[in-house]
């Protein structure tokens, strides 16, 4: 099982706003979302993420370079996985149920909770709006021909509405991180922790990796 450690975000940075948080995450270890078990043709995106935490919640930043960019959905719980999309799934302890957090490059969120793909319970809009997202203006790199975009996210513990969490220090959680784009000219499905499955599927908690919040 893949595993990594997540450091604590200093209090003074958390209080300085999302730009300071984003800059801090740029200095943290960048983990690659580069497992592509279903890749047949086309160019794969370059994707990495960094994760931190404190007594307020969890902080996550994605960095993406990709050939095609799609960002259509603007309403909470729209099907953002059809756009250029990054995703974060997390399960606490040994629980079978897990949260899925999915975002397009605009920061539009689709969030749910449940035991499997077919029994997802969407998180309420009042809960989802508590997620703070800072998205960069995507731009085309003339040298590489790739669109570059970044998304920094803050998940206050209240977002995990089916749990009573106020601290994750010294705890381990099961997680996976993804990149997809179902409606792109060259669809792709990437993961951080490897997936063994005959067709694209992210809702496989038994194949999650692990993060230790130090």
Instruction: Tell me the C-alpha to C-alpha distance, in Å, between residue 142 and each of 63, 139, 146, 188.
Output: 18, 9, 8, 23
Domain extents in the chain? 3-197+208-213
Opening angle at CA 34, ends 39 and 179, nearest 5: 80
pLDDT of residue 69: 94
Q: E strands along the chain, which residues? A: 3-8, 31-32, 46-53, 57-66, 85-92, 98-104, 109-114, 121-122, 132-135, 139-140, 147-156, 171-180, 189-191, 209-213
- The architecture CATH gives domain 3-197+208-213: Sandwich (2.60)
Task: Measure the CA dihedral 190/194/200/205, to 10°.
Answer: -110
Residue that is written with structure tokens 């960095």 in the block: 63
Task: Report the pLDDT value the prediction gives residue 144, as an integer from 0 to 100.
Answer: 85
User: What are the structure tokens assigned to 178, written together?
Assistant: 């993804």
Given the DSSP bridges, would you call strands 209-213 and 3-8 parallel, antiparallel or unpaired?
parallel
Determine the distance from the C-alpha atom of residue 134 to the mean position of all C-alpha atoms in its chain, rounded to a whole number. 13
According to DSSP, the β-strands at 3-8 and 46-53 are parallel
Which pLDDT tens digits describe the chain residue by residue (214 residues)? 899 999 999 999 999 999 999 999 999 999 999 999 999 877 899 999 999 999 999 999 999 999 999 999 999 999 999 999 999 999 998 899 999 999 999 999 999 999 999 999 999 999 999 999 999 877 788 888 899 999 999 999 999 999 999 999 999 999 999 999 999 999 999 999 999 999 999 999 999 999 999 9
The torsion of the CA quartet 161, 119, 129, 93, rounded to 10 degrees, works out to 40
DSSP state, 35?
A: B
- Helix H, strand E, coil C: the string for 115-175 is CCHHHCEECCHHHHCCCEEEECCCEECCCCCCEEEEEEEEEEHHHCCCCCCCCCCCEEEEE
CA distance 125 to 115: 21
């Amino acid at each position: 099982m893949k595993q990594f450690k997540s450091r604590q975000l200093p209090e003074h940075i958390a209080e300085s706003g999302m730009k300071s948080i984003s800059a801090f995450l740029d200095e943290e270890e960048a983990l690659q979302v580069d497992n592509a078990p279903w890749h047949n043709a086309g160019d794969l995106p370059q994707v990495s993420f960094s994760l931190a935490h404190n007594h307020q919640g969890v902080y996550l930043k994605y960095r993406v370079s990709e050939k095609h960019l799609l960002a259509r959905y603007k309403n909470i719980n729209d099907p953002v996985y059809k756009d250029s999309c990054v995703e974060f799934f997390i399960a606490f302890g040994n629980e079978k149920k897990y949260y899925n957090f999915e975002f397009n490059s605009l920061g539009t969120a689709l969030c749910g909770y449940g035991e499997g793909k077919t029994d997802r319970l969407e998180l309420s809009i009042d809960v989802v709006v508590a997620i703070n997202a800072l998205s960069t203006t995507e731009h085309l790199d003339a040298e590489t021909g790739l669109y570059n975009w970044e998304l920094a996210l803050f998940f206050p513990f209240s977002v995990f509405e089916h749990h009573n969490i106020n601290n994750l220090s010294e705890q381990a959680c099961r997680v996976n991180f993804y990149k997809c784009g179902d409606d792109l000219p060259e669809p792709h499905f990437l993961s951080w922790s490897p997936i063994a499955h005959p067709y694209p599927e992210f809702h496989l908690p038994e194949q999650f990796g692990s993060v230790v919040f130090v």
